[in-house]
A and B are shown apart, each in its own frame.
Chain A
Amino acid sequence: MSTSDTRTAPAPALPESRRRIHREAGLGVVLVVLVALFATLTPRFATGDTFAQIGTDLSIVLIVAVGQALVLFTRNIDVSVGSTVGLTAYLAASLTAAVPGLPLVLTVLVACLLGAALGAVNGALVATLKVPSIMVTLGTLYIFRGINSALAGSSQITAQNLPDSYSAIATGTVLGIPLMFLYALAVAGLAHLVIRHTFTGRAMLAVGSDPASAERTGIASKRLVFGAYTVTGLLCGLAGVLWGARYGTVDSSVATGFELVVLAAVVVGGVRITGGVGTVGGVVLGAAILSVISTGLALADVSPFWLQAIQGLVIILAITFDLVLRRRLESRGVST
């Protein structure tokens, strides 16, 4: 057998010139289609006010969803985010009410640290106990909520107990763009940088893609998992402050069930629930799509009784559309 023959034989499949599109392209199309659809359904939709409203609405979801995405990347989940937001919202509001002169920066800092501490509890349990993360965080979901109820009882902190500057964090605008939205974009931008352009970020996806390989490559999986939960907690703390600032009323039931909204945004955004796949850009689009759907349906005078059911239906349609589009492109040799 002469080796020269086998050398000149073209290697099978040499797809260096494969066309590529961004994974998010399909979601972008979905978002544009939805906006166009609602704009034709109701004239009230395509206005600056509505867009500002959507931007504000999606902010708190997006901030927490970015954290949730980090956790999902590592093949874990955090269902305690709603309770963490609730507890930090209550503590931040109580602190502000109790110490009126406290600089807002300090309030935010304290809330973030508290949230990070709660997240660290989750992270430490998941990383060291090797108990499935859904069980651990289901446990802490009830524990954090329980602490919240015990502290708050039936009391309520309302806008009257809070200084005006507190709500200003949430209601302000810059050049007509809601401040809240800018915070959320900043968080997403930073997370994108970490995930896409640092070793730590790529390693998080690696852990979720194949945990055994990560171990054999010497990637510090436990530290990354712990980190992802802690950051998620921190972002929940930030979200907690913003919640109080935005809605003005804080009681023991703040953000109950919020974890499902967050998960919906993350999953619509293309983050794989079993880890290893996803982008922060996708999460931004996921949160935007959900917000456009709920605002659009409300403006289109859909009966409030049917609102949730129709919302669910539109979400399923949106995801299906994205997947079908992506599979079609993939079957034509375009990688995503």
Chain B
Amino acid sequence: MSTPVIELSGVAKRFGGVVAVRHVDLALFPGEVHALLGENGAGKSTLVNMLAGIHRPDAGAIIVDGAEVTIPNPRTSRALGISVVHQHPVTFPDLTVTENIMLAGPAPRRRTRLLDWGTARRHAREALARLDVHLDISAEVKHLSAADQQLLEIAKALDTGTRLLVLDEPTAALSTREVDRLMEIIARLKADGVSILFVGHRLNEVFALADRVSVSRDGATVVTGPAHEFTPESAVGHMVGRSVETAFPKAEVELGPARLEVRGLSRRGAYTDVSFTVRRGEILGLAGLVGAGRTEIARGLFGLEPADSGEIVLDGAAVSIGSPQQAMRHGVAYVPEDRHSEGVVLEHSIGFNLPLALLERRPRLGLLSPQADRALAGDYIDRLRIRTSGPDQLLGALSGGNQQKVVIAKWLATDPSVLILDDPTKGIDVGAKAEVHQLISGMAERGLTIILISNELEELLAVSDRVITFYRGAQGPEFDRRPFDAEQVLAAMTGQVSDVHV
């Protein structure tokens, strides 16, 4: 093999007393896709930030073209040919697409040092065209969807001087179609001799792409080798240091009577004529691409954006749900997609967060009782096996998986009979995922009616009793026999079949 584009040798980084990266060796060669796997907390993001010039290593060396370099800031990193797509988009919501692309690189200037807007707009159009995405370049970024923001992020990173492209879990917010496009682009860049470091934990993507795989655990690379020497199971084994199931096997549950029935539910611009029935103890999966209307249906059922027409029937009686308060009174709970902005307050403790959804029915003499809150928190910490130092720990200090458990616990505390989960394992570890699946399965066993939305088809098919597909707001084929045929479900949710005989 030729000489590496970039080599990390014995790199280490600590923050205060916490060792984020203990010892990482990594060589990235031209024209290779190198996958870096690891659980949250394995030091992946710190590593990415060192390449991006955001953190500087305390020990070890970063070697570019055989010479040791220091990367004091992100601009130096770019100048060295390193482009980083961070896990969370690094965007300026109030500025336009053009401006966001312009601010990422050397800005085009006229001889007067004033900005050359014409060239800036051309650059922006070219950057988007390279990725084959269509965005209004003069739109403010806050008006773009999460997926478009992620695409913008990738477009920003792809300029002609890129020698190493670092993708930190780039597909989290993307739909299948966009992931496919990204894969094509990666293949093209690879052919051009660009080195690609793909950081992630969606294993099927990784194995479709990677030439080599490195696994990091507790801040150190534990194994590096050609991709074909790994299986998903062995990779996960290295990540967690033991062998685990990637998905918890679903328990067989005796289904009860119909609990929730939806008839002809429509909301303009979101979904039309949606009808289904869910029984007690049943897990109904809603499959579809991002933007297929699944989240909107969930929000409709929870009264956040009530449907324009149609009927919601609970236990045989038609109800009207015009606000979350009404939904909660009817026993409907909704765990939103974005736990950071809609689910919980990270700056507060578990004991503060857990009873948040209860506020309406609980006050005694109008006063809250901190003791009761802590007891409630303690109870759920045990039941859901939330790993924490106790009810007083701040939520922000927990791992993603444990934060998600707190969000679910918050809604379980309202004692719902219908629980809607919107992408409940987004951005959490493989190990924690299996635990959330187990939790969902256990809730169904106790008779809860569950509606599950997930952008990971694999997860949806593993956990659900029944799957309904949606394509651009229209209800598509339904699959009610396990095990599901992933190919058929995928075809239905990408609108390539109007009717499937199952």
Contacts from A to B (Cβ < 8 Å) = 1-3, 5-6, 9, 11-16, 18, 20, 193, 197-199, 202-203, 205-206, 208-210, 212-219, 272, 276-277, 335
CB pair A16 B99 closer than 8 Å: no
User: In whole angstroms, what is the CA distance A18 to B180 when docked?
Assistant: 29
Known: A6-B180, A20-B138, A335-B143. A218 touches B93 (CB 8 A): no
Known: A6-B180, A14-B134. A209 touches B92 (CB 8 A): yes
Q: Which residues of B in the span 287-319 have a Cβ within 8 Å of any Cβ on A?
A: 291
CB pair A216 B54 closer than 8 Å: yes
Q: Which 7 A-B pairs have the closest CB atoms?
A: A218-B74, A218-B75, A276-B94, A209-B92, A209-B94, A197-B114, A213-B90
CB pair A213 B91 closer than 8 Å: yes
CB pair A205 B95 closer than 8 Å: yes
User: In whole angstroms, what is the CA distance A193 to B94 when docked?
Assistant: 19
Which residue of B has the minimal Cβ distance to A278?
Answer: B94
Name B's interface SS: loop
CB pair A18 B92 closer than 8 Å: no
CB pair A1 B490 closer than 8 Å: yes
CB pair B136 A276 closer than 8 Å: no
User: In whole angstroms, what is the CA distance A217 to B92 when docked?
Assistant: 10
Which residue of A has the minimal Cβ distance to B177?
Answer: A6
Told that A202-B102, A210-B90, A216-B74 touch, could you supply 15 new A-B pairs with CB distance under 8 A? A1-B496, A6-B177, A9-B495, A13-B145, A18-B136, A197-B114, A202-B95, A205-B94, A206-B92, A206-B99, A212-B90, A213-B90, A218-B74, A276-B94, A277-B94
Choice from B86, B95, B113, B115 contacting A216 with Cβ under 8 Å: B86
User: In whole angstroms, what is the CA distance A218 to B94 when docked?
Assistant: 18
Choice from B76, B90, B94, B115 contacting A198 with Cβ under 8 Å: B115
CB pair A203 B54 closer than 8 Å: no
User: In whole angstroms, what is the CA distance A18 to B143 when docked?
Assistant: 13
Q: Does B73 contact A (CB under 8 A)?
A: yes
Mask of B73-84 contacts with A, CB within 8 angstroms, 1/0 = 111111000000
Q: Which residues of A contact B93 (CB under 8 A)?
A: 209-210, 276
CB pair B107 A199 closer than 8 Å: yes
Which residue of A has the minimal Cβ distance to B76?
Answer: A218
User: In whole angstroms, what is the CA distance A223 to B458 when docked?
Assistant: 48
Known: A6-B177, A6-B494. A209 touches B95 (CB 8 A): yes
CB pair A198 B114 closer than 8 Å: yes
What is the CB-to-nearest-CB distance from A223 to chain B, in angstroms, rounded to a whole number?
12
How big is chain B's contact interface, by range?
35 or more
Q: Does B104 contact A (CB under 8 A)?
A: yes
Q: Which residues of A contact B166 (CB under 8 A)?
A: none
CB pair B90 A217 closer than 8 Å: yes
CB pair B73 A218 closer than 8 Å: yes
CB pair B496 A217 closer than 8 Å: no
User: In whole angstroms, what is the CA distance A9 to B73 when docked?
Assistant: 41
Q: Which residues of A contact B138 (CB under 8 A)?
A: 20, 335
User: In whole angstroms, what is the CA distance A197 to B95 when docked?
Assistant: 14
Q: Which residues of A contact B487 (CB under 8 A)?
A: 1
Pairs across A and B, CB under 8 Å, 7 listed: A11-B134, A16-B134, A198-B113, A205-B94, A206-B103, A209-B92, A217-B104
Q: Which residues of B contact A216 (CB under 8 A)?
A: 52, 54, 74, 86, 90
CB pair B136 A203 closer than 8 Å: no
User: In whole angstroms, what is the CA distance A335 to B75 when docked?
Assistant: 32
User: In whole angstroms, what is the CA distance A202 to B95 when docked?
Assistant: 9
Q: Does B140 contact A (CB under 8 A)?
A: yes
User: In whole angstroms, what is the CA distance A16 to B133 when docked?
Assistant: 12
What is the CB-to-nearest-CB distance from A246 to chain B, in angstroms, rounded to a whole number?
33
Which among B77, B92, B99, B107 has the greatest number of chain A C-beta atoms within 10 A? B92
Q: Which residues of B contact A214 (CB under 8 A)?
A: 92
Q: Does B59 contact A (CB under 8 A)?
A: no
Q: Which residues of B contact A11 (CB under 8 A)?
A: 133-134
CB pair A217 B95 closer than 8 Å: no
Which among A199, A205, A335 has the greatest number of chain B C-beta atoms within 10 A? A199
Q: Does B385 contact A (CB under 8 A)?
A: no
Q: Does B491 contact A (CB under 8 A)?
A: yes
Q: Does B53 contact A (CB under 8 A)?
A: yes
CB pair B136 A213 closer than 8 Å: no
Q: Which residues of B contact A217 (CB under 8 A)?
A: 74, 90, 103-104
Q: Does B345 contact A (CB under 8 A)?
A: no
Which residue of A has the minimal Cβ distance to B91?
Answer: A213
Q: Does B139 contact A (CB under 8 A)?
A: yes
Which residue of B has the minimal Cβ distance to A212?
Answer: B90
User: In whole angstroms, what is the CA distance A178 to B414 when docked?
Assistant: 68
Which residue of A has the minimal Cβ distance to B137?
Answer: A16
Q: Which residues of A contact B73 (CB under 8 A)?
A: 218
Q: Does B188 contact A (CB under 8 A)?
A: no
User: In whole angstroms, what is the CA distance A212 to B89 when docked?
Assistant: 11
Mask of B486-501 contacts with A, CB within 8 angstroms, 1/0 = 0100110011100000
CB pair B78 A218 closer than 8 Å: yes
CB pair A213 B139 closer than 8 Å: no
CB pair A219 B114 closer than 8 Å: no
CB pair B103 A202 closer than 8 Å: yes
Choice from B74, B76, B139 contacting A18 with Cβ under 8 Å: B139
Choice from A3, A213, A272, A335 contacting B92 with Cβ under 8 Å: A213
Choice from B54, B113, B115, B472 contacting A215 with Cβ under 8 Å: B54
What is the CB-to-nearest-CB distance from B257 to chain A, in angstroms, rounded to a whole number?
38
CB pair B115 A202 closer than 8 Å: yes
What is the CB-to-nearest-CB distance from B242 to chain A, in angstroms, rounded to a whole number?
35
User: In whole angstroms, what is the CA distance A18 to B136 when docked?
Assistant: 9
Q: Which residues of B in the span 96-149 have a Cβ within 8 Å of any Cβ on A?
A: 99, 102-104, 107, 109, 113-115, 117, 133-134, 136, 138-140, 143, 145
CB pair A15 B90 closer than 8 Å: no
Q: Which residues of B contact A197 (CB under 8 A)?
A: 114-115, 117
Known: A202-B103, A216-B86. A3 touches B180 (CB 8 A): yes
User: In whole angstroms, what is the CA distance A16 to B494 when docked?
Assistant: 25
Q: Which residues of A contact B52 (CB under 8 A)?
A: 216
CB pair A218 B90 closer than 8 Å: no
User: In whole angstroms, what is the CA distance A214 to B93 when docked?
Assistant: 11
What is the CB-to-nearest-CB distance from B109 to chain A, in angstroms, rounded to a whole number?
7
Mask of B37-76 contacts with A, CB within 8 angstroms, 1/0 = 0000000000000001110000000000000000001111
User: In whole angstroms, what is the CA distance A242 to B94 when docked?
Assistant: 35
What is the CB-to-nearest-CB distance from B493 to chain A, in angstroms, rounded to a whole number?
10
